[in-house]
Amino acid sequence: MKKLLTATCAILLTQSVLAGVKIEHWISPSGARVYFVESRVLPILDVQVDFAAGSMFDPAGKSGLAALTRSTLDLGAGNRDESAIAEQLADVGANLGGGADTDRASVALRTLSARDKRDPALDILRNVIQRPKFAAAVVEREQGRTISALKDAMTRPEAIAGKAFWAALYPAHPYGQQATPESLSALSRDDLQAFHARYYTANNANITLVGDLSRSEAEKIAESLVAHLAVGEPAALPPPPATAPGATVKLAHPASQAHISIGMAAIERGDPDFFPLTVGNYTLGGGGFVSRLMKEVRDKRGYAYSVYSYFAPLRHNGPFQIGLQTKRSQAAEAIKLARDVLDGFIKEGPSEEELAAAKANLTGSFPLRLDSNAKILANVSLIGFYSLPLDYLDHYQAKVQAVSAEDVKQAFARHLRPAELITVTVAAD
């Protein structure tokens, strides 16, 4: 009883601290969803604009289009060429970053909040989003560089394994279609412009602002970022992936270690089973140095330096994955061991002791997830992009606490079917 009380108090205490992370949300006049956290302690402003414009929207035969569109977006925009953009950002000490994954394309600006620094930086961000040039020479050059980098990546075992894993999990879905030198070569400047016009629209945008800014300034800035974009339609999602049959994919490579991935398509962002799966996976392979996989594969047998498991919820069913690397001659034993650990966990779930340890860490470490502007930005942009509840962070610890061992077992049974698991090995004997 005493223990229970302590746990409850700890939650209350942390929540009172978190009252500092207040998310304000509104829709800009042009239709963008805006999320704002005012934080005046440091003279810094972070702005991230996320569009539903990831690789899942690559048209058939044009794999790599979303990524190339994003990577050339800031290489010339409005009346600035690529050098003017980079030089003027550097002049005010601002950094422009971002990228594209399967679901979203992001443009992220970090700037000092003083007006003479912030305003020029924001002007560049506005132009990059709204008026990218996609100059033919730049597109052609970046196309060539992307192809070269891809060819080099395809000689590395970790990249080969990663691509084979996604291809096997999503055989007839955009998540499994990946850029090839051929698909990249076929892209044209017109493709990039059309992709930008379709997906970089106000209705398809989520804007997150964190830092030294007032609400009224945030409103003006947010609207100015999308005011000259087409209002557009929210992106139409491709159909969800069909279930892939279990399979074993074995690829040859001369490396000294085998790279092993085991998993299947498992969970969508927003699925209520996220909490039992997260709590359970902590024990299985998520909890750093204290997971079952770590103990069995690394500590007891010295099979691997790194071994982990995770659920990666996406717009559609994102993967569950176990990953490890071991010297090639013992790949078969390591795979069998990892499968035994997984199968045992699916069957029995966590012990009460393991469950308590998982909850202690996941709730206790919560303040560490929010102790910088950069971390707050990452959390809030995720909440916005996937339309999670605005009080998601406020209830995170309570939802973790509420998970029972039975919840974990049932959630794992719902989301993981051992017969459908896909095993990919590169460089195994």
Task: State which of positions 204-243 bind other proteins (CB under 8 A).
Answer: none
Q: Where does this chain touch other proteins (CB under 8 A) — which range of 1-9, 64-72, 108-116, 167-175?
A: 108-116
Q: Is 306 helix (H, G, I), strand (E, B) or coil?
A: coil
- C-beta of 255 vs 393, nearer to other proteins: 255
How many other CB atoms are found less than 10 A from the CB of residue 353? 9
Cβ atoms of residues 291 and 298 within 8 Å: no
Show contacts with other proteins in window 174-193 (CB under 8 A).
none
- 250 lies in the binding site for other proteins (CB under 8 A): no
- C-beta of 94 vs 403, nearer to other proteins: 94
- According to DSSP, the residues that pair with 44 across neighbouring strands are 112
The C-alpha atoms of residue 184 and residue 62 are separated, in whole angstroms, by 7
Return the structure tokens found at 100: 């594209």
- C-beta of 324 vs 421, nearer to other proteins: 324
Site string for other proteins, 137-176 (x = CB under 8 A): ----x--xx-xxx-xx-xxxx-------------------
**Among 227, 357, 382, 390, contact with other proteins (rule: CB under 8 A):** 357
What letter does residue 170 receive in the DSSP assignment? -
Of the candidates 202, 201, 187, the residue with the CA atom closest to the CA atom of residue 59: 187
Of the candidates 330, 171, 340, the residue with the CA atom closest to the CA atom of residue 264: 171
- C-beta of 188 vs 361, nearer to other proteins: 361
The least CB distance from residue 291 to other proteins, in Å, is 10
- C-beta of 364 vs 389, nearer to other proteins: 364
Count CA within 13 A, CB hemisphere, residue 427: 20
The C-alpha atoms of residue 415 and residue 280 are separated, in whole angstroms, by 12
What is the Cα 83 distance to its own chain's centre? Answer: 29
Q: Report the interhelical angle of 189-199 vs 65-73 (nearest 10°).
A: 90
**Among 4, 5, 12, 41, contact with other proteins (rule: CB under 8 A):** 41
- C-beta of 245 vs 367, nearer to other proteins: 367
Show contacts with other proteins in window 251-310 (CB under 8 A).
252-257, 287-290, 295, 298-306
Q: Which helix (H) or strand (E) holds 44?
A: strand 44-51
- 429 lies in the binding site for other proteins (CB under 8 A): no
**Among 234, 364, 389, 418, contact with other proteins (rule: CB under 8 A):** 364
- 418 lies in the binding site for other proteins (CB under 8 A): no
The least CB distance from residue 26 to other proteins, in Å, is 25
